Every structure is written in structure tokens, then in C-alpha cells.
Structure 1
């Protein structure tokens, strides 16, 4: 898959291996992409999940760069970190028109709880995904992550196919 349209990875080594410098660089990218320039989502406002904040950074930011079930004990995920600039880029390419597998960004929806739908935006090889929660009047970029294993990619491809079959 050609990813020429995606921004370059933000690598830890480019911050001389200093976590605090890297974290600041990632956060500045996030601020640039979601605060200074808010994305557009098909007639809805794009908001951010601010709480719980940690180290003065929103929950949305932490979900895009870390992994874990416990909000307080999430751990950095370098694959997520490197790709933080991809999130906005993929959101900008979202369209409600059904996509073919050769599109840059494909998507499907999944029901979450009683009242919420989540959009799953994926690269066409299912190697990276962005999750966006639809809250009616607005949407929340929820998380984003790299899919490392081929069996997981096949599983997501099957979900995509099943969604568009019905």
C-alpha cells in the first residue's frame, strides 16, 4: 500500500531519545491538528474528550498515543505515537460515501452501548485505524492505533465487508 499521502512518522529518535521532548512534540502536533485547526465532520462539530486530563493533556490525546484499560496506568505505544499526525489526515479524507477497498480511507460503523455509534476509519490494508464516536450533535475522535498482526487485519477486513454487505 502506498502511503505517500500520509504525513511522515514522528520518531522518538528524532527527539534524541528524550521522552519529555518527544511527548511535547507529539502534543504540539495534536494541538495543531485538533485545537488550532478543528477538523470538519459531515455537518457535525468535532470535539475532544478532555477529561480525565493527565499532565495537562486531554484524554483524547492520551488515547491516541498510549494503550491500556486503566486511564491512570496507560503506557506509551510508539506505533501510535509515530502516527499521531495521521489521525487528522484520515479524518479529513472521511466521506459518508461507501468506499471501495482501493480507497485511501475506508470505514464502517459499530454499535457501542445503547445509543452510540462509532465510526472505524481504516487504511485500505487495515494496518491503522482511527475510531470516532458519534454523539449526535458532535463527534469525538476517540482513539487511533496500529494493527500489527495479519490475522487482526483480516478480522477487521471481515468486519468491513460484513458492514457493507447488509
Structure 2
């Protein structure tokens, strides 16, 4: 995957103190989602704040870790490195055509019983998930997709969605 020039560089862990790296990640998250929120068409943008862990909101932990339950989430370095990507991807979504473009593609589908927008880079190597709660949306998670079969799965899901919209 080549990183589009409109995305910020990865925030890599230099191998030093983990707490310092976590604080750096949280500073980026704060700048992008607490100091100012992205906008969304016809909806306000909120954050999943609870459960708060180590003084940090649940959305932050969903951005840097993976797992089915809050208590069992594990830090994912690929997510950590991309902490600066969700905001520009959301901002770029607002500037582009939803079905094409060099920035990203998107679609809306059901995930765990609620509508969720999936914002993807054109090669489906990276996704931002945004939950639709009616009058507002919540940035839910973000992750790197490194397996070709998963990228292809998302590509097919995207194509199926847009084919159904053309009928």
C-alpha cells in the first residue's frame, strides 16, 4: 500500500517508554476529536466517551486497540500508527464523490444492528467506521486491512452496495 499524499505520516513507536507513546497518540486524538470535531452531512458528530479508561475516552481505545469486548481489547500497533488518519479520511469523505475518487470510497451497511458508514481508501487497505445514531454519528473505530482476501471482501461489499443503489 502506498500512503496517499493527503494522509499524515504514521506515528511510529520508537521503542521507548510505552506511556510516552500512548500520551503522544492521545495528543493527536485530542487535536482531531476533542479540540474540534469533524463535520458530517446533516448530523452532529459525537464520541463514545464511556467507558473511560486511564482518563481516555472509549473512542480513543477503539482507535488504538482491537477486541470484541471492552475488557478484552488489545493494543494494535497498526491502529496506533494510524491515529492521525481518521480525521483526514472523514474530512476527505465530505470533499469527494462517494462512489469514486482518489481519496476514498464509502458505503453504508449494518454492523451489529446499527447502520455504519465504512470509509475506505481506494485499495481497501484502511477503513474508518462511523456509527449512525439517527441525529448524530460516532466515529467508532479505524483499522489497517493487510490481507488481500479481506480487502477483496470489502471491495465486493462496496460494489454490491452501489449496484443496489443504481436500481
Aligned counterpart, 2:49: 50
Aligned counterpart, 1:94: 93
Deviations 1:25-56 (A, max 9, x none): 00010000001111111121110000111111
Q: What value does the CA root-mean-square deviation take over the aligned residues? A: 1.4
Pairing of 1:1-166 with structure 2 (within 5 A): 1-13=2-14, 16-95=15-94, 97-100=97-100, 102-114=101-113, 116-166=114-164
Q: Distance in 2 between matches of 1:2 and 1:17?
A: 25
CA positional deviation for 1:99: 2.1
- Which secondary structure does the structure 1 equivalent of 2:38 belong to? coil
CA positional deviation for 1:73: 2.4
Q: Distance in 2 between matches of 1:148 and 1:160?
A: 17
Q: Distance in 1 between matches of 2:81 and 2:60?
A: 13
Q: Distance in 2 between matches of 1:113 and 1:129?
A: 17
Please say if residues 67 and 74 of structure 2, whose CA atoms lie closer than 8 Å, have aligned partners that are also in contact.
Answer: yes
Aligned length: 162
CA positional deviation for 1:112: 3.3
Q: Which runs of 5+ in 1 are unaligned?
A: none
